[in-house]
Amino acid sequence: MFSRMKILFGVQGTGNGHISRSRELVRKLREDGHDVDVIISGRKEDELREVKIFEPYRVMKGLTLVTRKGKMNYFETMLQLDLVQLMADVVTLDTKETDLIITDFDPITSMVSRTRNIPSLGFGHQYAFKYDIPVGRGSFFEKQILLNFAPARYNAGLHWSSFNQPIFPPVIPETLYLQSAVTVKRNKILVYLPFEEVEDIVLFFAPFCKYDFFIYGKVQENRDEEHLHFREYSRTGFLDDLMECNGVVCNAGFELPGEALHLGKKLLLRPLDGQIEQQSNALGMVELAYGMAMESLDGSILAEWLEQPCREPLHYARTVDYISEWIGSGQWEELSKYTDAAWAEKS
């Protein structure tokens, strides 16, 4: 067992889910005595929110995916690629005395690990797709991006169910283990649709005036318009609204639905068009009977979903405890020992 390792940790900054789960694992690894150096890529530094816990950290350009009006835009994605800067960052990155590289879908640290033969570990939902889990229909190109955007030698994949595979439960923020003290408001609905335009969201939810919708995403300031409550990003405010709400309407990312399942919130997913990970998540959610999905902002589906009851909380384990223990053991081939233990525990 390693008593202390020097770890280079790469975080894909384009989604708040990557930052949320990596925040928890970085904190735990440092508590366990490891020296963790963090790189955040894929988002400009002035666009990052509440990343102080990662200090010291560096921001690099990396690669990101472009979306427009709820759809993947592969043409614009290709136009904004800066492969020269990417390779410069890979070549110049200091990895002196680095024992392990962890990548949460960050291509820079993934490429560094392969070019310098440093052991690497993929951490996040994307790495669950190495195993036999529900996968949506998509092109060969889309599947290859998902599997090869930031590959690693070892994989700590995450999912809402084990599917009898060596993958971990979702990473839940520590705050959400205190939910028992919060009173749930029956008509409060949390909305997080960052890939949709605000005007489309307003038209979608406006007819349902019996409910209060707390809307995060492309919102620049807090404001209330009758039963529509717009909120700019605040991690504390967002988690408070999540604990109080009765249900969540969101894109088919991974972290937020996992947090909602942990708390027992009902879920309605709207997967991003042309994004195979989100299409797969929507498929998995329906197959597990954990929630509903819609291919567009469909008012009839929303009306049906609003009448649905909540489900029982899944009470996921403190996943980062098991992942950190697995990392510290140095026995990275013995993954199932730790995934099985995580699923066996209930918080």
Q: Is 50 exposed, middle or buried (0-12, 13-18, 19+ CB in 10 A)?
A: middle
Amino acid at 111: M
Name the pLDDT band for 205 (thresholds 50, 70, 90): very high
Q: Where are the domains of the chain?
A: 6-171+317-344, 174-306
When mean pLDDT is compared across 60-64, 96-100, 336-340, the lowest value belongs to: 60-64
- Summarize the confidence of residues 250-256 as an average pLDDT: 95
Please tell me the least confidently modeled range out of 11-15, 72-76, 205-209, 251-255. Answer: 72-76
pLDDT at 68: 60
* Entry field: residues in the chain: 347
What would the mean pLDDT of 9-23 be, rounded to a whole number? 88
Cα separation, 249 vs 304, whole angstroms = 13
Q: How confident is the model at residue 192 (pLDDT cuts 50, 70, 90)?
A: very high
Burial category of 173 from C-beta neighbours within 10 Å (exposed 0-12, middle 13-18, buried 19 and up): middle
270 CA to centre of own chain = 15
Tokens at 219, concatenated: 């919102």
Q: Classify residue 122 as exposed, middle or buried by CB count within 10 Å of its CB (0-12, 13-18, 19+).
A: buried
* For residue 69, pLDDT beyond 90: no
pLDDT band, very low/low/confident/very high, at 81 (cuts 50, 70, 90): low
pLDDT of residue 330: 92
3-11 mean pLDDT: 92
Q: Which helix (H) or strand (E) holds 192?
A: strand 188-192
Nearest to 262 by CA among 237, 235, 282, 290: 290
| Interacting residues of 259 by C-beta distance below 8 A, sequence separation 6+ | 170, 172, 173, 176, 242
Q: Is the dihedral of CA 29, 30, 34, 40 positive or negative?
A: positive
Rounded to 10°, the helix 299-306/198-205 angle is 60
The pLDDT of residue 146 is 81
pLDDT digits (tens, 9 = 90+) for 280-330: 999 999 999 999 999 999 999 999 999 999 889 999 999 999 999 999 999
Q: pLDDT tens digit string along 85-94?
A: 788 888 888 8
Residue with the bigger pLDDT between 1 and 139: it is: 139
Burial 76-101 (b: 16+ CB within 10 A, else e): eeeeeeeeeebeebbeebebeebbbb
What confidence tens digit (pLDDT) does each residue in 126-139 have?
999 999 999 988 76
Pick one of 3.40.50.2000, 3.40.50.1820, 3.50.50.60, 3.60.150.10 as the CATH number of 6-171+317-344: 3.40.50.2000
pLDDT of residue 246: 96
H or E stretch at 30: helix 16-31
| CA gap 122, 104 in Å, rounded | 6
Shortest CA distance to 25 belongs to which of 122, 167, 107, 138? Answer: 122
With cut-offs at 50, 70 and 90, classify the pLDDT of residue 56. Answer: confident
Supply the pLDDT for residue 347: 55
DSSP SS3 for 273: strand
pLDDT over 60 at 122, yes or no: yes
The pLDDT of residue 132 is 94
Over pLDDT 70: what percentage of the chain?
Answer: 91
Do the strands 247-251 and 292-293 form a parallel or antiparallel pair, or are they unpaired? unpaired
Q: Please check the confidence at residue 50 and state whether its pLDDT lies above 70.
A: yes
Q: Are strands 292-293 and 266-270 parallel, antiparallel or unpaired?
A: parallel
More confident site: 178 or 347: 178
Q: Which CATH class is domain 174-306?
A: alpha beta
Q: Where are the alpha helices (DSSP H) in 124-186?
A: 140-148
3-state secondary structure of 272: coil
As a whole number, the mean pLDDT across the chain is 90
> Do the domains spanning 6-171+317-344 and 174-306 agree at the CATH topology level?
yes
Query: Does residue 114 carry a pLDDT above 70?
Result: yes
